[in-house]
Amino acid sequence: MNELHAGKSGGDTLLDIENVERIFGGGRKLFGGKMPAVHAVQGLTLNVRRGETLGVVGESGCGKSTLARLVVGLDLPTAGTITFDGEDLTALARRNRNALARKVQYVFQDPVASLNPRKTIRTILEAPLKHLTDLDARGRERRLEELLEAVNLAPEFLERYPHEFSGGQAQRIGIARALAAGPELIVLDEPVSALDVSVQAQVLNLLDALKEKFGLTYIFISHDLSVVESVSNRVAVMYFGRMAELGPAKEIFKHPLHPYTDLLMRSAPAPGRHDLLSEDAAAELPDPYNPPPGCAFAARCPRKSDLCLSARPAPDAARGQDENHFAACHHPLPRA
């Protein structure tokens, strides 16, 4: 199997990301010479099946949000293709942004910052109904009521301003806005990271219920492994703009192949857990302007060999027992 097929798996594919790359910078300077370029996302191949929740984990700066913005069309890839339901998503984003917005929506990390402080909730929720649907005033009113009910908010909230809401309530509004135009796929970019654990559970439960009710597909991005584990069918672990490991959630968390996945898992705190693994202070991400030729994780990896330093492992260099479980590693962890 080559690089292109490692991220694929059977089933009814809704979103197909193929060898996608997004480079920032890298233009020409005024007086010759190239500006430094950063590969935010590189050689990413991945698909999302209809009706599943794909979790995406990784450290900040590993390209999670870039991936999210590419999928909703807020940003365009510099190479590779993204296909949504058989249609070229990138072309659609260029040609008819609203058509894409009807199918794919986004929920933001900071719920309060994603609401315009000078607009009432009614204005905010009506915007997608006005621009993306052809409902008349009466239809919009009815839809607003449905939306508020779907996210468990009282109708009185409509006339209020964002600053009057707690984080959890604001995130419900953000979710209602994403649902407004009836999308098929919702990209949730750290939707609960800014919330208290107590509220976090409420929002996660709500997301579960909505998925069931409206037959949605989720891409759930988070840096919190335990949250991702509890919501995802499949999980993609990203490191330094590339896929480190991809597979069914159960497999990944029970039998991780990639040393990075293992590190993440052993760093996660949990009530009653005292033995947090801690790396050396020197363990830093590679310089994005000067990426290493081999495995990007080598500087932090306890299993690295000379091979790792010279040759970059393919996304499917290692296979798990499940046929859909891959990792980009020359020396994967043995099955425990």
Partner 1 sequence: MTDTTQTVEMKPKRTSARPGTLALLLNNSLATGGLIVLVAICLIALAAPLLPLADPDVTAPVDRLQPVFSDGHLLGTDHLGRDLLSRLIWGTRVSLAVGLSATVIAAFFGSLLGLVAGYAGGRVDTLIMRGIDMVMAFPYILLALAIVAVLGPGLLNALYAIALVNIPFFARNIRGITLGLSRREFVDAARLSGKSPAQILFLEILPNVLPVIVITMSTTVGWMILETAGLSFLGLGAQPPQADLGSMLGEGRKILFTAPHVSVIPGLMIFALVMSINLFGDGVRDVLDPRLRAGSLTRPVARTAVERGDAPVPPPSGKGGVLDVRDMRTEFEIGGSVYKAVGGVDLTLAAGECLGIVGESGSGKSVTAMSIMGLVPTPPGRIAGGAAYLDGEDLFAVSDRRIRKLRGSAVAYVFQDPLSTLHPLFTVGDQLREAIGTHQPLSAAEVKARAIELLSLVRIPNAKERLSAYPHELSGGMRQRVCIAMALANDAKVLIADEPTTALDVTVQSQILTLMNGLRRDRNAAILFITHDFGVVSAICDRVAVMYAGRIVETGRTNEVLASPQHPYTAKLIECVPVLGEPERRLDAIEGRPPVVNNLPDGCAFADRCGRVRPECRSGEIALVISREDRGVRCLYPLNTEGAA
Decide: 157 and 148 in contact? Cβ < 8 Å: yes
Site for partner 1 in 140-179 (CB under 8 A): 152-154, 156-157, 160, 166-169, 172, 174, 177-178
Q: Is 272 a residue that touches partner 1 (CB under 8 A)?
A: yes
Site string for partner 1, 83-122 (x = CB under 8 A): --------------xx--x---xx-xxx--xxxxxxx---
Site for ligand SF4 in 307-336 (CB under 6 A): 308, 313, 329-331
DSSP class of residue 115 equals S
Q: Is 303 a residue that touches ligand SF4 (CB under 6 A)?
A: yes
Q: Which residue in the set 284, 289, 307, 310 belongs to the binding site for partner 1 (CB under 8 A)?
A: 284
DSSP-assigned beta bridge partners for residue 309: none
Site string for ligand SF4, 244-283 (x = CB under 6 A): --------------xx------------------------
User: Using CB atoms within 10 A of its CB, is residue 247 exposed (0-12), middle (13-18) or buried (19+)?
Assistant: buried
Q: Which residue in the set 186, 304, 315, 326 belongs to the binding site for ligand SF4 (CB under 6 A)?
A: 304
Distance CA 20, CA 256 (A): 25
Q: Is 203 a residue that touches ligand SF4 (CB under 6 A)?
A: no
DSSP class of residue 298 equals G
- What is the radius of gyration, based on Cα positions, of the chain? 21
User: To the nearest whole angstrom, how small is the minimum distance from the Cβ of residue 95 to ligand SF4?
Assistant: 40
Q: Which residues 6+ apart lie within 8 Å of 156 measured at CB?
A: none
CB neighbourhood size of 121 (10 A):
25
Q: Which residue in the set 270, 302, 306, 336 belongs to the binding site for partner 1 (CB under 8 A)?
A: 270
Task: Find, among 179, 241, 229, the residue nearest to 204 by Cα.
Answer: 229
Task: Find, among 17, 40, 53, the residue nearest to 235 by Cα.
Answer: 53
* Residue labelled with tokens 């994403």: 178
**Beta carbon nearer to ligand SF4, 75 or 245:** 245
Piece of 12-20, 272-280, 302-310, 312-320 that binds partner 1 (CB under 8 A): 272-280
CB neighbourhood size of 212 (10 A):
10
**Beta carbon nearer to ligand SF4, 15 or 327:** 327
Token pair listed for 192 = 């609960």
Q: Is 202 a residue that touches partner 1 (CB under 8 A)?
A: yes
User: To the nearest whole angstrom, how small is the minimum distance from the Cβ of residue 91 to partner 1?
Assistant: 18
98 binds, among ligand SF4, partner 1, none (CB under 5 to 8 A by kind): partner 1
Ramachandran angles phi, psi of 99, nearest 5°: -65, -40
Piece of 12-20, 67-75, 149-157, 294-302 that binds ligand SF4 (CB under 6 A): 294-302
Q: Is 40 a residue that touches partner 1 (CB under 8 A)?
A: no
Pairing of strands 104-107, 318-319: unpaired
Give the footprint of ligand SF4 on this chain (CB under 6 A).
258-259, 295, 297-298, 301, 303-304, 308, 313, 329-331
